[in-house]
Structure 1
Amino acid sequence: MDPEKIYPRTNDHETVYLKSVVKDPNILVGNFTIYNDFVHDPRQFEKNNVLYHYPINHDKLVIGKFCSIACGAKFLFTSANHTQRSLSTYPFPIFFEEWGLDVQNITSAWDNKGDIIIGNDVWIGYEAVILSGVTIGDGAVIGARTVVTRDVPPYTVVGGVPAKPIRERFSAGTISAMLKIKWWDWPEEKIKQHISDIQAGRIERLQSFGERE
């Protein structure tokens, strides 16, 4: 297994290991996270899917390990948020030359919402939109074309515009156990040994392994 390679499957150039194609130092991606795009070149994720992400804001997109991101998912950052503190939403500071304004005040054109943080083992559906300042917990599922405006708890399925909780994937006890186990942080060979337990939902096997470690 090599999480540094670009294409995880032979003859499939629509799916990439995202960490291998992202160059922006303000986009941080964990091992084995995949992005699939059947419309555009998935290697252009940084250009086509991470929008309004300007260096002047210093905000980050952080994506954990083993996430699955579907075609067309978008991450919208601060500069998409025209300020609502002004009496006008028009971005005068961006056009500082036109209006004789101080270039140092350019970021006052928008309201800074902050970083986007995606946990581990998160599934983001087709053409979902994640807005700046949002944190999505481990194991969450974001439905197709959902617009996420607020934080999503771990192991919660959300959908709609704006996103609303649909259900929790597991019982409270199982969710608590999974957040303690953190299988995505295990060594690769140990994950490989326990893939069948993960797929079959044998959480007691994962718990016993964690205790032995």
Structure 2
Amino acid sequence: MTIAPDRNKLYPNENIKTVCYIKNLPSRSNVEIGDYTYYSDNTNSPENFYDNILHHYDFLGDKLIIGKFCALAEGVTFIMNGANHRMDGLTTYPFNIFAGGWEKVTPTIEQLPFKGDTLIGNDVWLGQHVTIMPGVKIGDGAIVAANSTVVKNVEPYTIVGGNPANVIKKRFSDEMIPLLLELQWWNWDEKRIFDHLEQLVSVNDIATLKKLLNEA
């Protein structure tokens, strides 16, 4: 009996070539992707996912880290730290990149704004054409509405939207969210996930959640 798709295949469902498991694309040293996280693209091949990670340069050292079981819709874009201009002078114009003598004001890495790694938690849903700015942290279970630009951190199990993205609402009560973060269902083995699929997709009550926690 099959209890899970093959997490090591690029296309887990051979009949759907618009959805791929990102982890199984050629790896990059500055990108980390969790199991079962997918990218969906109905316009271009999902194999072009890395084209959506912009201004990401090894010499800066920032990473894009995405957890397990995330759903990334078409056109999701990550702006990394390499996009930043020096901002402590009279102008932000990057004279140095045009050479011709202007390279004498090439900034050091220390002079450029640096927001750190971009971190996407587990079970996060990023809607179509969402843009994530450098150094943003998005918590487990969060949802970002389509066409949003995320410029600041998003708390776990929170829905945000807009440009810039603001909180729309929490997905669950303040009592449930800590329990969900403790449950960490995305770290279960395949058999346990299979046995609890119905609860995972339909249950949102405290009693069942506590029961699941007690099974661990």
Aligned residues, how many?
211
Task: Give the corresponding residue for 1:53.
Answer: 56
How far apart are the structure 1 equivalents of 2:202 and 2:93? 53
Unpaired runs of at least 5, structure 1: none
| 2:166 equivalent to 1:173 | no
Shift, 1:144, TM fit: 0.3
Amino acid at match of 2:52: N
Task: Give the corresponding residue for 1:8.
Answer: 12
Task: Give the corresponding residue for 1:76.
Answer: 79
Mapped contact 1:22–1:45 kept (Cα < 8 A): no
How far apart are the structure 2 equivalents of 1:44 and 1:98? 37
Task: Give the corresponding residue for 2:24.
Answer: 20
- For residues 128-151 of structure 1, give each alpha carbon's deviation from its aligned partner in whole angstroms, at most 9, with x where no partner exists: 000011000000000000000000
- For residues 64-87 of structure 1, give each alpha carbon's deviation from its aligned partner in whole angstroms, at most 9, with x where no partner exists: 000000000000011222221122
Structure 1's 53 and 75: CA in aligned 2 closer, same or farther, altered over 3 A? same
Mapped contact 2:124–2:143 kept (Cα < 8 A): yes
Mapped contact 1:93–1:107 kept (Cα < 8 A): no
Amino acid at match of 2:35: N
Structure 1's 102 and 85: CA in aligned 2 closer, same or farther, altered over 3 A? closer
- For residues 25-77 of structure 1, give each alpha carbon's deviation from its aligned partner in whole angstroms, at most 9, with x where no partner exists: 1110000001001111111111x210010111110000000000000000001
How far apart are the structure 1 equivalents of 2:105 and 2:177? 50
Task: Give the corresponding residue for 1:148.
Answer: 150
How far apart are the structure 2 equivalents of 1:21 and 1:201? 33
Mapped contact 1:93–1:108 kept (Cα < 8 A): no
Task: Give the corresponding residue for 1:198.
Answer: 200
How far apart are the structure 1 equivalents of 2:8 and 2:46? 15
Structure 1's 22 and 159: CA in aligned 2 closer, same or farther, altered over 3 A? farther
2:136 to 134, 158, 161: 134
How far apart are the structure 2 equivalents of 1:114 and 1:136? 13
> TM-score with structure 2 length normalisation?
0.91
- For residues 90-134 of structure 1, give each alpha carbon's deviation from its aligned partner in whole angstroms, at most 9, with x where no partner exists: 11343456325276x453674112111000000000000000110
Structure 1's 92 and 108: CA in aligned 2 closer, same or farther, altered over 3 A? farther
How far apart are the structure 2 equivalents of 1:27 and 1:91? 27
2:210 to 198, 202, 207: 207
Shift, 1:10, TM fit: 2.3
Percent of aligned positions with the same letter in both sequences? 39
How far apart are the structure 2 equivalents of 1:52 and 1:2? 32
Task: Give the corresponding residue for 2:67.
Answer: 64
How far apart are the structure 2 equivalents of 1:126 and 1:107? 33
Amino acid at match of 2:17: H
